[in-house]
Structure 1
Amino acid sequence: MWPPRYFDSSTLLPLINEPAPIPLKRTTPLVQVPGVVGIRPDYAGQILTEKGLYCDYDFTENYELSMVSNVLSQEPEAYTEVPRGSVVRIYYEVPWSGGM
């Protein structure tokens, strides 16, 4: 229709007494981080992967997995709840080369 109808601009403003917005729910399910301290890094990675987590460890040297120590610590700690797909960092010792 021409001319357009005019309306009261107050209908465009939110009401003061409106309830607060509904908080969004987490879409990624939480999983419990398994304890992997004391086992070999390759097995730790398998366990974490089965739980839907990623394992982060640093093989900067060319050591075989059989040459490194068992996992000494992990972040986040065991039994912590994290979103599926989170990264768990594991720490271990590598053999000393003996050179200077």
Structure 2
Amino acid sequence: MMKRTERTVNVKAWGCLGAKRVVLYEDRDELRFTDGFHDMRMTQARMEAFIPGGDAVLADVYRRVRGTRSWHPVVKELKKLLDERGGKAV
């Protein structure tokens, strides 16, 4: 039986991409973002449209991804960030 190692990601930033609240993270040496429901690759065009946001964005995306895809490796990292910043990881 193959032992599965837990995948970790590195959260880089959070903010808005158009009307979406998103979190940027690095996964397997690739910059990606999630709005809580979908994950996509970050392109140069998207990077230029990205607007950094506050902790409310972080909490919003955390609640969404935790509720829909609690297995996602970004969940643990977002909770850790919210706890460090004194935000509510509800």
Same fold (TM over 0.5): no
Relative to its length, the structure with more helix (as a share) is: 2
TM normalised by structure 2 equals 0.26
Structure possessing the higher relative contact order (Cα contacts under 8 Å, 6 or more residues apart): 1
Q: Which one has a bigger Cα radius of gyration?
A: 1
Relative to its length, the structure with more strand (as a share) is: 2
TM normalised by structure 1 equals 0.24
